[in-house]
Chains A and B, each alone.
Chain A
Amino acid sequence: MSENGVLLKGWGLRLLAIGLWALTSVVAFLEILTVREIAMRVYAHFAVTGDLFAREYWGGQTVGVGAAVIMGVLCVGIIIAAGEYHMKHFGQPRSWRLFGRTIAFELSILVLALFI
């Protein structure tokens, strides 16, 4: 790390940044399923009574598909925007801060799924 807080540039750091971006992108896509699951569970908690003929089945399916589509669009957008941002600000604290926030957000969603 340099005196002014900017991480020294080099192949190692470049690989680290690319690796982190790729990892967070893959996890983001995988979390589409997690968010879909969370949305369906919330729906089930509020709407499904487990009657003999559960009319809420298609409602649950709709919520799941809706969540997956919205998350898919968001993920693609965010991955592209984040990639651009990291390229532009490579090695700067703001880039590492965004990586930190992305990882924190993705971890939070995984932990959230444990509670709902």
Chain B
Amino acid sequence: MKRWLEWLRPHVQDGAKIMLLLFLAVAAVLYGLHVFLAVLHRYPLDYGEAPLVDQAIRLASGQNIYRADLSSPPYTVSNYPPLYPLALAPLVKLFGPSLVAGRLVSILCALASAFFLAQIVYVPSQARTASLTTGLIFLAFPYVVGWSKLARVDLLALAFSTAGLYAAVRWPATRRGLVVSGLLLVAAIYTRQSYALAAPLAAFVWLWTHDRRHAIALAVLVGGLSLILFLVLNILTGGGFFFNLVTANVNEFRLDQLERWLRDVGQAIPILLVLDGVFLFFAFRRAKSWSLVVPYLIGALLSALTIGKIGSNVNYLLEFSAALSLVAGAFLVWSRERPWLHSAALLLLALQVGFLMQATLRGPVESLKWRIKQPKRHFTGLEWIVESADGPVLADEFMGILTLQKEPLYIQPFEVTQLANAGVWDQTPLLESIRRREFPAILIHHFMGYPVYQERWTSEMLSAIVEDYVPIDFLADTIVYRPRDAETARPVELDACADAPWRLATRSELGMWWFSRHLFFMGEGYENTVPVYAVADGLLTRRLDWRDAVAIQHDDPLRAGEKVWTFYGGMASGRSDESFVAPGFPPGSEGVPVKRGQLLGYQGQYSARLGTPFWVHLRFAVLPPAADGSFPADLVGLVAEEERAPDRTEDARPLDPSPYLGTVGSNVMGYLEWMPLQCQTGTP
């Protein structure tokens, strides 16, 4: 038995290695596909891209990007040190404003980071598989895949910091190594300030184990140079550097957000977290790289915990991903002397890469697809709005459209909203400008099911926009607001349109989708928060299999003596089997009297396929009764084709809801058409 195990051992190890390398290769292909598609897309992929390109444009023209006073426009904030916009400035000068150049810088830096991480493992161990694993597993993290396609500062900072660590590992005992490492670590800090912790700490502890004088010299070099640069920049900008980097970065910390991210990390990287623990406790003083990897991991973890700040994203997890990749490589090196443990580690890492790929496909790949698959006419439409505007346009997610048109940013709404919430910035002048309708267009983006706009605009700004502007279009999930013409377009009351026989069924701040006489009222807010009401008196029915819907039979107000049905669907969760229909109407209800305005339930993200949530909505339809007067379930797709009533004619279809509700209608059939919620009379 022992001999057979001995014979089997190298084959198992070989097989495990093949499995890991295959998984890593597929993950690398996914990474390549993802960033390739992102680079081909010239429009913004993220809120944070445009401000950096805008800063590069201003730097290229010799302007100060760190203003200390935000009492007058532009209301923009430079949250990061200047190295990344400085790197973009010559590209902007040469090729004009482009998001693609910044994305290419990020992608190259991600690859450079992977290379340096691999080298950090390879130099002391000469272990090729471990080194390759370190580099490639870094590129498999969904956070790295998702972020390295963006024109953001983070990957440049990470490339500098991993290069600094590599220099410390490669030349631990030479002055050249010390200086190169120190300068690179300072460059990382002056690309993104949060890189002042993990890599400098790891380099310091690593050097301490080799030569204490070098460690102290590195600390003096990095700390001293960073401080001097800070003082110089702060003096040159009249205190603006401190204001932009420190004051304007103090956002509210939310524990629920931290918990959500921790849960996400736990689901995506369970195996690596366990390997971390094993390495942390069992490899102490046994693994050569312990004194480098563990301080880096601890520093990166502390840095990652600040992800609870409002507005934070997966960029806070990039350094942590790099640290985990180093642990993976160091673990493989350490376990080389224990063949069966080594084989198990290889297999476990292969499975971990599988989980990472799953998270990548469900996360960044899905998000990118939805962004770039928006119809091109939506983006060109937004471009036209900006191009034809005769004044500054306010935007959030699609600020980049302004930047691409060489328009300077007037506002970074998220940043100034946080400052206003913290009482550091007075929004009154901006509110007055909105109320004076000085902006020819305002573009507010909406993410399906998550009202991010509430973090980007203060409630006062939103109120002013809703009162003085009117939504006229919905392009690339962005509502286009134009100044409200007081004579023709008064605000739509939520209850009812004037002279309409019925009241409205629910709120519809995001407008309505018209689909072949079905109306999807798109309320703003989370699931189960936007109430749905009966449009008129009637008798309610809820069949046993209706999780999300009820129907009400009414006296038809337009055809005396006849009956008509209204259908209310979508009142259920898109992710679970939770129903949001009011508890007074359990499944099986029939003929329950309801009054006009009675609460029926709440809007949900229900779609026919569980797990594929739609926008928060109410699906509403007005239907003629079946021949026997019952509810015509086939007209709302609740009956299979073969079960349709034989006497139902092919042209039987829902009635046009517009005359009943008094809203503006459409004749479009067959595909979704967005329209703002507007009354036919123009006045409520």
Chain A residues with a Cβ under 8 A of chain B: 1, 42, 45-47, 49-50, 52-53, 96-97, 100-101, 103-105, 107-109, 111-112, 114-116
B14 touches A101 (CB 8 A): yes
| Cβ-defined contact, A116 with B361, below 8 A | yes
Determine the residue in chain A with the shortest Cβ distance to B29. A42
Residue from the list B10, B19, B369, B612 in contact with A45, Cβ < 8 A: B369
A108→B11 contact, CB < 8 A: no
| Contact between chains at B357 and A104 (CB < 8 Å) | no
The smallest beta-carbon distance between B355 and chain A, in angstroms, is 7
Q: Give chain B residues whose Cβ lies under 8 Å from the Cβ of A108.
A: 18-19, 22-23, 350
Within 342-374 of B, Cβ neighbours of A (below 8 Å) are at 350-351, 354-355, 357-358, 361, 365-366, 369-370, 373
Q: Which of B10, B15, B672 has the most CB of A within 10 A?
A: B15
Query: Could you tell me if B22 and A112 are in contact, using CB atoms closer than 8 angstroms?
Result: yes
* Residues of the A chain whose Cβ atoms lie less than 8 Å from the Cβ of B370: 49
Chain A residues whose C-beta falls within 8 Å of the C-beta of B10 in the assembled complex: 97
Nearest chain B residue, comparing its CB with the CB of A105 = B18
What residues of A have a CB within 8 angstroms of the CB of B369 in the complex? 45-47, 49
Neighbouring A residues of B672 by C-beta, 8 Å: 52
Known A1-B7, A52-B672, A112-B23; judge A46-B33 contact (CB<8 A).
yes
Q: How far is the CA of A111 from the CA of B370 in the complex (A)?
A: 28
Closest 9 CB pairs of A and B: A104-B15, A115-B354, A100-B11, A108-B19, A104-B18, A45-B361, A108-B22, A49-B373, A115-B358
Alpha-carbon distance A50/B613, docked complex (angstroms): 12
List residues of chain B with CB within 8 A of the CB of A45.
Answer: 361, 365-366, 369
How far apart are A7's CB and chain B's nearest CB, in angstroms? 9
Q: Which of B11, B37, B354, B366 contacts A111 (CB 8 A)?
A: B354
Cα distance, A1 to B358, chains bound together (Å): 43
- Known contacts: A46-B33, A46-B369. The answer to whether A115 contacts B3 by CB under 8 A is no
In the complex formed, the residue of A with least CB distance to B368 is: A46
17 A-B pairs whose Cβ atoms sit less than 8 Å apart in the complex? A1-B3, A1-B7, A45-B361, A46-B33, A52-B671, A53-B671, A97-B10, A100-B14, A101-B18, A104-B14, A104-B15, A104-B16, A104-B18, A108-B22, A111-B350, A111-B354, A116-B358
Chain B residues lying within 8 Å of A97, measured Cβ to Cβ, are 10-11, 14
Residue B498 at the A interface, CB < 8 A? no
A107 to B355, CA, bound (A): 17
B30: Cβ under 8 A from any A Cβ: yes
B contacts, CB < 8 Å to A: 3, 7, 10-11, 14-16, 18-19, 22-23, 26, 30, 33-34, 37, 350-351, 354-355, 357-358, 361, 365-366, 369-370, 373, 612, 671-672
Contacts of A101 in B (CB 8 A): 14-15, 18
User: Given A52-B672, A115-B355, 17 other A-B contacts at CB below 8 A?
Assistant: A46-B34, A49-B373, A96-B11, A100-B11, A101-B15, A104-B14, A104-B16, A104-B18, A104-B19, A105-B22, A107-B15, A108-B22, A112-B354, A115-B358, A116-B26, A116-B358, A116-B361
**Tally of contacts, chain A with chain B, CB under 8 A:** 66
Contacts of A49 in B (CB 8 A): 369-370, 373
A48 closest partner in B (C-beta): B369
Which residues on the A side are within 8 Å of B361 (C-beta)? 42, 45, 116
Residues of B within 8 A of A111 (CB): 19, 350-351, 354
Q: How far is the CB of B138 from chain A (nearest CB, A)?
A: 18
Complex formed: what's the CA distance from A92 to B19 in Å? Answer: 24
Q: Give the docked Cα–Cα distance between A50 and B373 (Å).
A: 11
CA distance A46 to B38 in the complex (A): 11
Determine if B354 and A114 form an interchain contact, defined as CB atoms under 8 angstroms apart. yes
Residue picked from A50, A101, A104, A116, most chain B C-beta under 10 Å: A104
Q: How far is the CA of A109 from the CA of B33 in the complex (A)?
A: 20
Collect the chain A residues with CB atoms within 8 Å of residue B373's CB: 47, 49
A115 touches B357 (CB 8 A): yes
The winner among A53, A107, A111 for most chain B CB atoms within 10 A is A111
What is the minimal beta-carbon distance from B150 to any residue of chain A, in angstroms?
A: 18
In the assembled complex, the CB of B241 is this many whole angstroms from the nearest CB of chain A, namely 42
What is the CA–CA distance of A116 and B30 in the complex, to the nearest angstrom? 11
**B11–A107 CB distance below 8 A:** no
Cα-based distance from A47 to B366 in the complex (angstroms): 9
Bound form: Cα–Cα A61–B350 in Å: 29
The residue of chain A having its C-beta at the shortest distance from the C-beta of B18 within the complex is: A104
Taking CB atoms, residues of chain A closer than 8 Å to B358 are 115-116
- In the complex, what distance in Å separates the CA atom of A86 from the CA atom of B355? 36
Cα A108 to Cα B672 with chains together (Å) = 43
* Shortest distance between the CB of B654 and any CB in chain A (Å): 17
CA distance A103 to B14 in the complex (A): 11
